[in-house]
């Protein structure tokens, strides 16, 4: 309790985000590291040897039962936990705590044969079958019931066991676009509830007067065929909301069942960071959200000729900044230890890259990292997937050695650890939120107007600029309080309503600095255009009118000039008519609207509102506009090259180099390097302690 008060106090003093230290994790540990183990895959005689070596390498927890439903309930209603008890006891003998899983991603064959109605049906009619994983429908009430019976037994058995630290639900639960008849029934019910059993309300929301789409009863409604061109996109919007809710409800119900029996154990799941899928963070009773991340799988999103061995420099950073704000803390459930088996090409990571990713996860503030997996499998779909040890079960892989090094380094730093929110003032002064709602991406991507437009890429242009400034970023949803951030950016926030615009206005009047970008507040929450001038929902706030918008061919991009510097664009440009209180930044050239502007800014109350009605080709306009604004606002920014990032936590600064060149970092006054040197090689890491 005393400690919690101190943490809060420190957070206040440092101007940090006010999240109390979570009860399950201790700042003294900095972070914990663990690894997946599947006892059911291995000869029982090897378990002890494996846990001993796991412990000697430095792991502090392991992870069991993820896909073991067939072993846990070999016949309907007959449970066998004896083997798992033995594995838990042996792990404990080597000081390994356990994350327990609900194995709902892999129903046993008796279940699929006896109750085939639980199987997922694809839009083209294919029914999934036993023999892989993730083939059961979350919308099936029967599947849920059978899952809950198994989960409740597991929770009764392990919920009061101090060797179990927490629970992971399912595996990478995704939003299912499932055409199982149970999903159709549930969709109709979802619509009845949403539209108060009044079909006229639905007809109005979906604009069904268009093309004779009108319905006379909810029973006529089917799951929309997304493959069918021109399918009503208001309907698709509701279908996506419904589909995300199926996954979220299934997880939340699992979580509540476990919590009935669990003592001091957390519950989470391991989401794939598919941000626009729309379900992450949507199960309110989960204690926090964790993610899985793979960095090297054949795509070259890295820097330079061998960048594909290191990976995209912001891939982990964005996930950290998206998952942490969900509950204020997070963990990483799967981090690649070496080659994977499922990429287009599965190269070896660059020596040092695995450790770089571990430090990247740490830099975002995570409380733990778990790696998938300890042993390389000898059979099954993932035979070519690397582990911490290789196919002989004992030889440590290069990635395994990098985990070992990281765990040693963390243990060494524990003596220096300060409270998690000990961060420098100039860093916190540029704390920026990106307001994100996946529904905007759903809506825009369905009606792009320019096939070269990409909603996530638009958001990432702002994110990338912020990371080059060394700014801490929270990617948040509308449930969060905006007032805690000096700057909030809402990029391409297409669907809005009066309540949201009022909140934005209040935030600005009270001293916040809001940046809205093109395509914002142009539709209502059903995806309809208001009967008013285009984009006018925010014109009182921004002070602008939109005259029109233009979209260009990528091979014939347009030009925009700010302070004498030219930028190219083609995906979307709005032509604004700013009012007298606004200052405009830059103008279009070489078009019939030459001289007109896309960017305006003005003071309002104690704060400011900036509107950026254009999307540039390479993100340089977005970066320069942000820098200009932050300079006006006296917010100190850094100039880090792309590929280098810097974050703070626990009184430590962490600098990561994903670029193909060495980077020389200048330590802040009074800081001291504690891991690495200020000359940071490719895939290198520098950790320094700050004076505070
Ligand atoms: C993840 C999945 C794991 C494992 C891994 C292989 O997406 O959650 O169960 O299959 O991929 O890289």
- Both 369 and 334 in a single domain? yes
Looking at the fold, whether 212 and 243 belong to one and the same domain comes out as no
Ramachandran bin of 480, using left for φ above 0, alpha for ψ from -120 to 50, beta for the remaining angles: beta
Q: Do residues 256 and 389 share a domain?
A: yes
Q: Which residue lies with its CA nearest to atom 10 of ligand 1?
A: 382
Mutate which of 292, 341, 357 for ligand 1 pocket (most atoms within 8 A of beta carbon): 292
Predicted confidence at residue 226, as pLDDT, reads 80
CA of 38 to the centre of ligand 1 (A): 13
d(CA 385, ligand 1 centre) in Å: 9
For residue 521, what is the domain's CATH number? 3.40.50.880
Query: In the listed set 382, 415, 448, which residue is the last one of a domain according to the structure?
Result: 415
Q: Where is 605: in which H helix or E strand?
A: none
Domain count, the chain: 4
Q: Which two tokens stand for residue 158?
A: 């392990």
In angstroms, the CA 638 to CA 657 distance is 15
Indicate if 403 and 506 belong to the same structural domain.
Answer: no
Evaluate: CB of 170 within 6 angstroms of ligand 1.
no
Q: Is the CB of 334 under 6 A from ligand 1?
A: yes
Could you tell me the distance, in angstroms and rounded to a whole number, from the CA of residue 165 to the centre of ligand 1? 22
Tell me the CA–centroid distance for residue 484 and ligand 1, in Å: 36
Is 453 within a domain?
A: yes
Whole-number Å distance between alpha carbons of 247 and 518: 32
Element (H, E) at 347: none
The ligand 1 atom at the shortest distance from the C-alpha of residue 270 is 8
Provide the pLDDT for residue 691. Answer: 82
Burial of 547 per CB tally in 10 Å (0-12, 13-18, 19+): middle
Listed residues 234, 265, 298: the one ending a domain: 234
- Domain check: are 674 and 539 in the same one? no
Given a contact cutoff of 8 angstroms between Cβ atoms, the answer to whether 20 and 40 are in contact is no
Sign of CA dihedral 280, 281, 285, 291: positive
Tell me the CB-side half-sphere exposure of residue 503, using CA atoms within 13 A. 13
Q: Answer for the pair 369, 431: CB distance below 8 angstroms, yes or no.
A: no
Q: Which domain holds residue 650?
A: 644-689
Instruction: Report which DSSP code applies to 389.
Output: B
Nearest alpha carbon, ligand 1 atom 5: 372
d(CA 61, CA 73): 25
Atom of ligand 1 nearest to the CA of 172: 8
**How many Å separate Cα 332 from the centre of its chain?**
11
Claim to verify: residue 282 and residue 353 sit in the same structural domain = yes
Nearest CA to ligand 1 atom 9: 171
Helix (H, G, I), strand (E, B) or coil at 587: strand
pLDDT at 13: 38
Do 278 and 198 belong together in one domain?
no
Q: Which two tokens stand for residue 595?
A: 């001289």
Do residues 67 and 104 make contact, with C-beta atoms less than 8 angstroms apart?
Answer: no
Taken in order 230, 235, 238, 242, the sign of the CA dihedral is: negative
> What order of strands is seen across the sheet that includes strand 644-649?
644-649, 652-657, 685-689, 672-675
Ligand 1 near 269 CB (within 6 A): no
Dihedral sign from CA coordinates of 196, 198, 203, 204: negative
Q: Is 168 in the pocket of ligand 1 (CB under 6 A)?
A: no
* Residues 653 and 683 placed together within one structural domain of the fold: yes
- At residue 318, the 3 state secondary structure works out as helix
Asked if the structure places residue 49 within a domain, the reply is yes
Q: How far is the CA of 372 from the centre of ligand 1 (A)?
A: 7
Helix, coil or strand: residue 121: strand
CA 121 – CA 128 distance, rounded (Å): 6
Residue 48: inside a domain: yes
326 with 305: CB under 8 angstroms?
no
Confidence (pLDDT) at 145: 98
- With a 6 Å cutoff on the Cβ, whether 174 touches ligand 1 is no
Virtual CA dihedral for 665, 666, 670, 675, nearest 10 degrees?
20
pLDDT, position 152: 98
Cα 273–chain centre separation: 4
336 Cα nearest atom in ligand 1: 12
- Which of 364, 389, 415 is the last residue in one of the domains? 415
The per-residue pLDDT for 542 is 98
- Asked if residue 438 belongs to a domain, the reply is yes
Helix (H) or strand (E) holding 295: none
Burial 375-387, CB ≥16 within 10 A → b, else e: bbbeeeeeeebbb
Q: What is the pLDDT of residue 269?
A: 98
* Residues 246 and 294 placed together within one structural domain of the fold: yes
What does pLDDT average to in each consecutive run of 10 residues of the chain (692 residues)? 36 40 88 98 98 98 98 98 98 98 98 98 97 98 98 98 98 97 98 98 98 98 91 96 98 98 97 98 98 96 96 98 98 98 97 99 98 98 98 98 98 95 97 98 96 98 98 98 98 98 98 98 98 98 98 98 98 98 98 98 98 98 98 98 98 98 97 98 98 76
72 CB-contact burial (10 Å; exposed 0-12 / middle 13-18 / buried 19+): buried
Helix (H, G, I), strand (E, B) or coil at 520: coil
Edge to edge, the sheet with strand 583-584 lists: 473-476, 432-435, 487-490, 513-517, 607-612, 599-604, 583-584
- 385 touches ligand 1 (CB under 6 Å): yes
Strands 513-517 and 487-490: parallel
DSSP count for the chain of H helices, then E strands: 18, 26
| 271 is a domain residue | yes
- Do 75 and 121 sit in the same domain of this protein? yes
75 alpha carbon to ligand 1 midpoint, in Å? 27
Residue 388 is assigned to a structural domain of this protein: yes
The pLDDT score that the predictor gives to residue 437 is 98
- With 0-12 / 13-18 / 19 or more C-beta atoms within 10 angstroms meaning exposed / middle / buried, residue 12 is exposed
* Per-residue pLDDT tens digits for 472-519: 999 999 999 999 999 999 999 999 999 999 999 999 999 999 999 999
CATH number, domain at 658? 2.60.40.1180
What is the whole-number distance in angstroms between the Cα of residue 115 and the centre of ligand 1?
A: 27
- What whole-number distance in Å separates Cα of residue 582 and Cα of residue 7? 42
pTM for the structure as a whole? 0.96
Q: How far apart are CA 117 and CA 127, in angstroms?
A: 10
Please indicate whether residue 172, judged by its CB atom, sits closer than 6 Å to ligand 1. Answer: yes
The answer to whether the CB of 377 is under 6 A from ligand 1 is no
Predicted local confidence at residue 21, as pLDDT: 56
Residue 96's pLDDT is what? 98
Q: How far is the CA of 340 from the centre of ligand 1 (A)?
A: 9
305 and 276, same structural domain? yes
Angle at 37 between CA 32 and CA 43, to 5 degrees: 145
Ligand 1 pocket, residue 103 CB under 6 Å: no
CATH code for the domain of 168: 3.20.20.80
Nearest CA to ligand 1 atom 6: 340
Same domain, 341 and 202: no
CA Rg value for the chain: 26
Q: How far is the CA of 47 from the centre of ligand 1 (A)?
A: 22
Is 12 contained in some domain?
no
**In angstroms, rounded to a whole number, what is the distance separating the alpha carbons of residues 686 and 655?**
5
| C-beta of residue 136 within 8 angstroms of C-beta of residue 246 | no
Q: Does a structural domain hold residue 15?
A: no
């Amino acid at each position: 309790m005393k400690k919690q008060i101190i943490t809060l106090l420190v957070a206040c003093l440092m101007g940090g985000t006010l999240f109390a230290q979570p009860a399950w994790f201790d700042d003294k540990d900095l972070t914990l590291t663990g690894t997946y183990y599947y006892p059911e895959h291995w000869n029982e005689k090897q378990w002890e040897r494996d846990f001993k070596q796991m412990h000697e390498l430095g792991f502090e927890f392991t992870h069991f039962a993820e896909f073991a439903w067939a072993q846990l309930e070999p016949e309907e209603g007959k449970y066998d936990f004896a083997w798992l008890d033995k594995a838990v006891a042996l792990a404990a003998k080597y000081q390994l705590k356990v994350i327990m899983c609900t194995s709902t991603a892999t129903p046993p064959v008796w279940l699929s044969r006896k109750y085939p109605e639980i199987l997922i049906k694809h839009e083209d009619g294919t029914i999934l079958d036993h023999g892989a994983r993730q083939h059961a429908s979350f919308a099936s009430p029967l599947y849920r019931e059978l899952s809950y019976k198994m989960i409740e037994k597991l929770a009764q058995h392990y919920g009061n066991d101090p060797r179990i630290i927490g629970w992971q639900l399912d595996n990478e639960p995704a939003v299912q676009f499932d055409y199982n008849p149970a999903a159709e029934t549930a969709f109709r019910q979802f619509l009845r509830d949403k539209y108060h059993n009044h079909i006229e309300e639905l007809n109005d929301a979906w604009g069904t007067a268009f093309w004779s789409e009108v319905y006379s009863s909810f029973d006529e409604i089917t799951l929309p065929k997304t493959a069918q061109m021109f399918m009503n996109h208001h309907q698709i919007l509701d279908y996506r909301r419904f589909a995300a809710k199926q996954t979220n409800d299934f997880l939340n119900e699992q979580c509540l069942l476990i919590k009935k029996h669990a003592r001091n154990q957390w519950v989470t799941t391991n989401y794939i960071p598919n941000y626009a899928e729309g379900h992450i963070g949507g199960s309110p009773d989960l204690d926090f959200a964790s993610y899985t991340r793979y960095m090297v799988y054949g795509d070259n999103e890295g820097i330079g000729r061998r960048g594909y061995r290191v990976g995209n420099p912001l891939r982990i950073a964005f996930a950290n900044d998206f998952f942490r704000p969900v509950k204020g803390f997070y963990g990483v459930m799967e981090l690649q230890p070496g080659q994977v088996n499922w990429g287009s090409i599965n190269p070896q990571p660059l020596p040092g890259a695995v450790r770089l990713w571990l430090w990247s996860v740490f830099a975002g503030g995570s409380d733990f990292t778990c790696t998938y997996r300890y042993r390389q499998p000898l059979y099954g779909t993932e035979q070519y997937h690397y582990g911490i040890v290789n196919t002989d079960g004992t030889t440590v892989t290069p990635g395994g050695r990098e985990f070992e090094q990281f765990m040693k380094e963390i243990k060494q730093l524990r003596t220096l650890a300060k409270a998690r929110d000990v961060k420098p003032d100039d860093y916190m002064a540029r704390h920026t939120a990106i307001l994100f709602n996946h529904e905007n991406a759903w809506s825009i991507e369905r009606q792009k107007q320019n096939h070269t437009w990409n909603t996530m890429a638009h958001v990432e242009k702002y994110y990338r600029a912020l990371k080059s400034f060394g700014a801490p970023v929270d990617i948040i949803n509308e449930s969060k309080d905006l007032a805690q951030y000096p700057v909030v950016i809402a990029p391409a926030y297409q669907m809005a309503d009066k309540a949201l615009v009022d909140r934005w206005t209040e935030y600005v009047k009270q001293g916040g600095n809001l940046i809205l970008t093109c395509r914002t507040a142009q539709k209502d929450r059903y995806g309809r255009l208001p009967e008013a001038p285009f984009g006018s929902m925010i014109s009182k706030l921004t002070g602008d009118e939109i005259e029109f918008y233009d979209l260009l061919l990528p091979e014939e991009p347009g030009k925009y000039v700010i302070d004498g510097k030219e930028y190219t664009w083609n995906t979307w440009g709005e032509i604004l008519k700013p009012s007298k209180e606004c200052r405009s930044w830059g103008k279009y050239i070489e078009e019939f609207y030459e001289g007109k502007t896309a960017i305006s800014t003005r003071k309002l109350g104690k704060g400011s509102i900036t509107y950026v009605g254009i999307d540039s080709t390479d993100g340089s306009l977005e970066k320069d506009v942000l820098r200009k604004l932050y300079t006006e606002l006296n917010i100190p920014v850094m100039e880090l090259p792309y590929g280098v990032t810097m974050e703070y936590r626990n009184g430590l600064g962490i600098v990561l180099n994903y670029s193909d060149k060495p980077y020389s970092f200048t330590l802040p006054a009074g800081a001291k390097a504690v891991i690495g040197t200020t000359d940071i090689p490719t895939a290198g890491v520098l950790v320094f302690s700050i004076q505070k």
